[in-house]
Amino acid sequence: MSHPHPELTSPPPLGKGALRVVALGGLGEIGRNMTVFEYDGRLLVVDCGVLFPEEEQPGVDLILPDFDYIRDRLDDIEAVVLTHGHEDHIGGIPFLLRERADIPIVGSRLTLALITAKLGEHRIKPETLQVEEGERHEFGAFDLEFFAVNHSIPDALAVGIRTPGGSVLHTGDFKMDQLPLDGRLTDLAGFARFGDEGVDLLLSDSTNAEQPGFIVNERNLSEAIDKVFRQAEKRIVVACFASHVHRVQQVIDAASKHGRKIAFVGRSMVRNMNIARDLGYLSIPGDTIIDVKQLDQMRPDEAVLICTGSQGEPMSALSRMANRDHQIRIEQDDTVLLASSLIPGNENSVNRVINGLTRWGAKVVHKGNALVHVSGHASAGELLYVLNMVRPRNFMPVHGEWRHMRAHADLAKLTGVPSDRIIIAEDGVVVDLYKNRAKIVGAVQAGYVYVDGASVGDVTDASLKDRRILGEEGFISVVVAVDSGTGKILGEPEIHTRGAGIGAAAFDDVIDKIQDSLDKAARDGVNDPHQLRQLIRRNTGRWVNDTYRRRPMIIPVLVEV
C-alpha cells in the first residue's frame, strides 16, 4: 500500500503516454475537493470546492485549494467538471474564474444553475456546458462519460475519464439508496460496464468507509419528520444545508399535511430553493410558502422556518438565533430540527448551538435522538459493491479524513486489489498512471489559501497564530522613548494591556527590569532599534510567564527622540 512520504520532491516532467493525477484538496479532509488530471500537456479539473474554517482559524470565511500548481497553466485547462452542487465541490469556482474567466464549466442542470447564481453574485458570467447521465463528451484528449449517482442533492454525477494514458472512474460523492425520493438510482450497470472495459484507476468517496452495511433509505425519514410535526406545540425551525433539496421537500410535504406555512430564512437557502423550484426539483403547493416578514401575523403552531446552520456555523441563522442575535427569537416550547449529518470537526460548534437553543426552552431534535437524517455517502457495504463491479487495476480513496481513506483502502484489499496498487495520498501528492500502473512520483504545493473578507491568500498560518494568541492570551504593549543616538532610555516605559488579565499596578516590577536592561544596553553601545525591541519583548515576556504562567503577545514600541 503506497503512501506519501514527508520528503517527496517535485515530480519529474510527465512522461509520454502517462496520465498524471494531482489532488489539490479533498484528501485527509472533508471539503476543498479538487483534482487535476494531465495528459500530453493538457489539464482537466474535477470539482473546485471550499473548506469551512474551524475554531483555530479565527476570522477566516473560507479555505480554498492552492491554485499555484496550475496558475501558470490556466490556458492548458480543457474544462472544469463539477460532480454536484455542494459548496465543498463548487465553492472555489468564483476564485478560479477570477484567474481565467473563460474556463468551460461542465455539470448537470441543477449544478450549473447553482454555480451560475453564485457566480452572478461575483459578477462573473461563466461558459457552461450542461451534461446528463449517459452522455459522452470529448475535451481534447479527455473522453468523458457521465453516470447518475444518488447523493444528498439532486443531479449528482460520477465521471469516467478515458485517455490514451489510461481510464479513470471518479465517483464523486455518492450512495446507493434503492428508494431515492427522486427515483434516480446510482448507475451500477454503467459502473459495471465501464469496469468491463478495464478501469486503470478508481477514485472513490471514502466518507463513510468506517460505517458497516448500507445507508438507510431517504424515504424512512418521512415518518420521523412527520412525528416531529405531530408533536410540535409551537413553531418548528428546521436547519439543513442550503442545497439539501430532498430534505426540504420532505419538510414541505409534512408542513402541507399539517397545515403549516413555510418561510425560508437566509440568503443561500432562499436562492437555492427558488432555483430548485424553478427547475422542477422542488414541488411546493401554491399557498405553502410565505415571506419571513409574515411570521409575526401567524400563530406559532402554524409556522415552519427552514434555515441554514446545522453545522453550528457562527454566522448562520440558527447560531444567531441560539445567541439571541437574530430577528427571529426562539421561545419556550419551539421545536428545532437539525436535519443534517454532522461533519467531522463540527461537534463542539453544534453542541454549543444545541445548548443555546435549549437554554431558551426549545426542544431540539437531531440525529442523536431521532431518525431525522441519513448520510449522502456510501457505507462499507456499498463501497464493496462498487469495488467488485469496477474491479480497478489501481485504487485511490478520496474525499475523507485519514481514517476514512485507510478504512476504504482496507476494503479494496478485501476485494482483491493488490496492496502495492492502492495509493493513499494527501493533498499535493502527484500520482502518475503509466502502462496500467499507478505510482507516486512527487509532490507539489497544496496548502490552505484563506479567504478573509475581500482578502484572498493574504492571511497566513502565522497570522492565524497571532490571532489565536490575541484571542486566548491578549496583548501587552510597551512604549519606550530612547535617545536615537545613544539608545539611552528617556523617561519611564508606558505599559498598556488588553485581554491579558493583568492590572496596571502589577507592572511596576517589570518596568524596573526593562529600564535596567536598556540602561545596560546603552552602556554597552547597543542602539539598534530591532535589538532594543527584542530586549523589551524578552524581559516583559519572561516576567509575565514567570509571574502569571501566561504568554500574551508582547508588542514593543520604540519612540526614537
Q: Distance between CA atoms of 415 and 408, rounded to whole angstroms? A: 11
Cell numbers representing residue 285 in the block: 403547493
What would the 3-class secondary structure string for 448-510 be? Answer: CEEEECCEECCCCHHHHHHHHHHHHHCEEEEEEEECCCCCCECCCCEEEEECCCCCHHHHHHH
Is the sign of the CA dihedral 327, 330, 335, 341 positive or negative? positive
Q: Distance between CA atoms of 202 and 187, rounded to whole angstroms? A: 16
Cβ atoms of residues 550 and 470 within 8 Å: no
Q: Is 512 helix (H, G, I), strand (E, B) or coil?
A: helix
- Residue 3, marked binder: no
Q: Distance between CA atoms of 395 and 122, rounded to whole angstroms? A: 38
Cβ contacts of residue 6 below 8 Å, gap of 6+?
Answer: none
Q: Distance between CA atoms of 217 and 52, rounded to whole angstroms? A: 28
Q: Which helix (H) or strand (E) holds 364?
A: strand 363-365
* Residue entry with cell 464493496: 384
- Residue 377, marked binder: yes
Q: Distance between CA atoms of 63 and 31, rounded to whole angstroms? A: 9
Q: Distance between CA atoms of 191 and 175, rounded to whole angstroms? A: 13
- Residue 376, marked binder: yes
Q: How far is CA 73 from CA 9, 38, 67, 97, 296, in A?
A: 20, 11, 10, 13, 55
Q: Distance between CA atoms of 114 and 243, rounded to whole angstroms? A: 9
Q: Distance between CA atoms of 255 and 245, rounded to whole angstroms? A: 15
DSSP state of 165: T
Q: How far is CA 167 from CA 307, 405, 428, 451, in A?
A: 42, 21, 21, 35
Q: How far is CA 479 from CA 197, 319, 517, 544, in A?
A: 73, 40, 15, 17
* Residue entry with cell 478485501: 414
Q: Distance between CA atoms of 447 and 63, rounded to whole angstroms? A: 10
Cell numbers representing residue 319 in the block: 447560531
- Residue 28, marked binder: no
Q: Distance between CA atoms of 511 and 57, rounded to whole angstroms? A: 34
Radius of gyration of the chain (CA): 28
DSSP state of 300: G
Cβ atoms of residues 427 and 25 within 8 Å: yes
CA atoms within 13 A on the CB side of 249: 18
Q: Distance between CA atoms of 274 and 353, rounded to whole angstroms? A: 27
- Residue 374, marked binder: yes
Binding residues are 373-377
Binding residues for substrate are 373-377
